[in-house]
Amino acid sequence: MAGIPDYFGSMVFDERAMKARLPGKVYHSLKQTVRRGERLDPTVADAVAAAMRDWAVEKGATHFTHWFQPMTNVTAEKHDSFLTPAPDGGVILEFSGKELIQGEPDASSFPSGGLRATFEARGYTAWDPTSYAFLKGKTLCIPTAFCAYGGEALDQKTPLLRSMEAIDRQAMRVLRLFGNAEVSRVTTSVGPEQEYFLIDKDVYGKRRDLIYTGRTLFGAKPPKGQELDDHYFGAIKPRVQAYMEELNEELWKLGIYAKTEHNEVAPAQHELAPIYTTTNLATDQNQLTMEIMQKVAAKHGMVCLLHEKPFAGVNGSGKHNNWSIATDTGVNLLSPGETPHENAQFLLFLVAVIQAVDEYQELLRTSVATAGNDHRLGGNEAPPAVVSIFLGDELTAILEALETDTPYSAAEKTVVKLGVHALPRFARDMTDRNRTSPFAFTGNKFEFRMVGSSQSIATVNTILNTAVAESLRQYADELEGAEDFNAALHALIQKAIAAHKRVIFNGNGYDDAWLREAVDKRGLSELRTTPDCVPSLLKRKNVELLTSHGVFTEGELRSRYEIMLENYSKTVMIEASTMADMARREILPAVAAFAADLAAGAAGKKAIAPTLPCAYEIKLTERLSGLADCIEDKTAALERAMLAVRDTEESVNEAFTIRDVVLPRMAELRAVCDEAETVTARKYWPFPTYGELLFSVR
């Protein structure tokens, strides 16, 4: 077999392919356009399209597609073939610059939140030359942004690209103030750690809840779950090993640096981490990774579950969004430096992030709000629903000393002056390993841990980039006019620390005492559920942030608001009908059948000899009959709750009704059904149990 370096990236039209195949002038023109974010010259587009087609056709491609990321968290594509009839009756393979640059998929069946009236079904896709085209099977996939005919974004990618511009613009202003003349672009990078579950396809196929909703809606706690912590970093089972090997190979071919993989805490749970890259590319690659994870699982007779909480009572899955800002000259701006100058710059970017997270905590929380993630956040294994920042004790102490102009420790005699003194050395704090902080500084990057495993990372990074751009904008405004730069910088950092230190918390984020302190004393917001979050998209302050940096228009925000509420409501309503259906058509008949057989058994015994003991049969028949009646009642109550939702008008009221009326009825129905499961003979139970699901892959 070929070595990894031989096939790594072989399915991507990356820098290497471009350099090798594009005429020098075309290559440079393309690079310039990308760098300056300008419109592409049509002749350049034709040349790039021709080179892409030749490359793809040599590798067996017959079709191309504009690959885009609508507001569904999954990608979309519509394939067109390269084939064009030739006058002599044969065919030629064509792909023009125009086809590369713009496509017009029928947009009517993608969520638009009212942005696109249904009679105007057209939307268009526009090539994103900052990401690489790649091959999937026989199809050349062109990464694109997806917009309505009026130019409004209908996807997750467009706002992300705009936020990359915003942070670049403001960070460049700040860097100029520090005299960094050689830097010409600032970008953010992300390494998303992806958690997932693998279960056997046969057990999956017997659970309609998993098939329809991605999570189990019923299931009594198994005798063994994650209590022994024997799965975490444990030996990987051969079947999973084979899966991971093939997955890596597929990802490597697509130029995705899948690097680490290990078992997670819950049985059947695993994690995959790629090496970080530019946020835009990382977003595309994470979407592809999720798709390929599922495809490869199917080849191995398994199903990859990406839901945030597929199983109650065991850990859910998240996606740790490791985020940093760097210059095109290779400097990580979140990396503490050696010299006073580097340190001052590092501190300014550090407080910019702290301020951004404090000011826009509600937007950050909202960017990860989904029906699925609601089951995870605030559970006792995932970050709480309150956003706070972990800095580690040493860095926190340094910030305190700076704020108050006091020496950082007893050993230090001097007060640190920015731009004059270097920072005291501080060790990377390892206490973040407890993973209870939603937003942790891990040495040279921040790790945002609230993101759900099935979500696109586009939106969360859009918010993060823009919020930090806003801090930087304010700093640049203030410092650009300063007479004494170092003094102004010192004062600015002190002010920022004082104003935003409430968001710093190094303790146990799962602690109830912390949550009370966070909310009651520090005034941090605790948005527990998606309906609580979504209205913050339309709060004046947040609208101003996002519109003033050109990331969203007000109309686009209103559309996101509608789409988020709609997604929430639809998701829970599908779960509710699935539950009612499973209860009526699978669980109740099973419980009744077992009760009937027990009763028949008792009657049979009595027929032989009226004195034969049959307390077991009678007691259990009684209990099962009682449970069956209760299941019937709870199912009817759920059905009534679902009907009540139909009468709700506004989408936000609907979401709240669903949360307050439907979800509690679902929980009640589940509780009785799970109890029934524990007393129903296994052979009667209509679908695989938790034990059978969680330990299905051996």
Shorter beta-carbon distance to ligand ADP: residue 147 or 293: 293
Exposure class string for 110-149: b at 16+ Cβ within 10 A, else e: bbbbebbeeeeeebbbbbbbbbbbbbbeebbbbbbbbbbe
Which of Mg ion, ligand ADP, none interacts with 324 (beta carbon under 5 to 8 A by kind)? ligand ADP
Q: Find out whether 399 and 549 touch, Cβ atoms under 8 Å.
A: no
- In a 10 Å sphere around its CB, with 0-12 CB exposed, 13-18 middle and 19+ buried, how is residue 430 labelled? exposed
Min dist CB 666 to ligand ADP, Å, is 35
Residues with Cβ within 8 Å of 211's Cβ and at least 6 positions away in sequence, in order, are 204, 205
Q: Residues in contact with Mg ion, total (CB under 5 A)? A: 1
For residues 178 and 412, give the distance between their C-alpha atoms in angstroms, rounded to a whole number.
27
How, if at all, do strands 439-441 and 389-390 pair? parallel
Q: Which does 319 bind (CB under 5 to 8 A by kind): ligand ADP, Mg ion, none?
A: none
Q: Report the candidate in 456, 56, 6, 14 with the shortest Cα–Cα distance to residue 249.
A: 6
CB 675 within 8 A of CB 655: no
Residue the block writes with tokens 């995870």: 376
Which one of 103, 111, 274, 336 is in contact with ligand ADP (CB under 6 A)?
Answer: 274
CB of 232 to ligand ADP, least distance (A): 13
What is the spatial distance between Cα 172 and Cα 475, in angstroms, rounded to a whole number?
Answer: 12
Q: Look at residue 327 and give the partner it binds from ligand ADP, Mg ion, none, a contact being a CB closer than 5 to 8 Å depending on partner kind.
A: none
Contact track, ligand ADP, 150-189, x by CB under 6 A:
---------------------------------------x
Scanning the structure block, which residue is given the tokens 């819950």? 266
96 lines the binding site for ligand ADP (CB under 6 A): no
Nearer of residues 168 and 264 to Mg ion, judged by Cβ: 264
Q: Which is nearer to ligand ADP, 97 or 316 (CB)?
A: 316
| Helical packing angle, 393-404 and 485-500, nearest 10° | 120
Question: Smaller CB distance to Mg ion: residue 320 or 376?
Answer: 320
Neighbours of 480 (CB within 10 A): 13
Q: What does 375 bind: ligand ADP, Mg ion, none (CB cut-off 5 to 8 Å by kind)?
A: none
Query: Rule CB under 6 A: is residue 332 a binding residue for ligand ADP?
Result: yes
> Could you tell me the CA-to-CA distances from 406 to 343, 397, 402 in Å, in that order?
18, 10, 7
- The minimum distance between CB 601 and ligand ADP, in angstroms, equals 57
CA distance 569 to 577: 12
Residue number of the CB closest to Mg ion reads: 320
Applying CB under 6 A, the span of 10-18, 69-77, 272-280, 524-532 interacting with ligand ADP comes to 272-280
CB 160 within 8 A of CB 560: no
In the list 53, 445, 449, 560, the residue contacting ligand ADP (rule: CB under 6 A) is 445
Going from the C-alpha of 615 to that of each of 208, 404, 594, 601, the distances in angstroms are 36, 76, 16, 11
* Binding residues among 403-442 for ligand ADP as defined by CB under 6 A: 442
Q: Which of 167, 273, 371, 493 binds ligand ADP (CB under 6 A)?
A: 273
Return the residue of 319, 320, 376, 659 that touches Mg ion, per CB under 5 A. Answer: 320
Contact 132, 255 (CB under 8 A): yes
User: With CB under 6 A as the contact rule, which of the stretches 217-225, 271-279, 292-300, 690-698 interacts with ligand ADP?
Assistant: 271-279
* Binds ligand ADP (CB under 6 A): choice among 193, 284, 358, 617: 193
User: Which of ligand ADP, Mg ion, none lies near 189, with the C-beta cut-off 5 to 8 A by kind?
Assistant: ligand ADP
CB of 273 to ligand ADP, least distance (A): 4
449 belongs to the binding site for ligand ADP (CB under 6 A): no
Q: Does 324 participate in binding ligand ADP (rule CB under 6 A)?
A: yes
Is position 319 an interface residue for Mg ion (rule: CB under 5 A)? no
E-state strands within 149-224: 186-200
Residue number of the CB atom closest to ligand ADP = 191
Ramachandran region of residue 137, left (φ > 0), alpha (ψ -120 to 50) or beta? Answer: left
Give least dist CB 347 to ligand ADP, A: 17
Residue selected from 124, 276, 510, 552 as contacting ligand ADP according to rule CB under 6 A: 276
Question: Using CA atoms, how far apart are residues 496 and 399, in angstroms rounded to an integer?
Answer: 10
Based on CB atoms, which residue is closest to Mg ion, 157 or 320?
Answer: 320
| Residue 273 binding target from Mg ion, ligand ADP, none, CB below 5 to 8 Å by type | ligand ADP
Task: Give yes or no for residue 191 binding ligand ADP (CB under 6 A).
Answer: yes
- Which residues sit at the interface with Mg ion, rule CB under 5 A? 320
Q: Which residues bind ligand ADP (CB under 6 A)?
A: 189-191, 193, 273-276, 322-324, 332, 442, 444-445
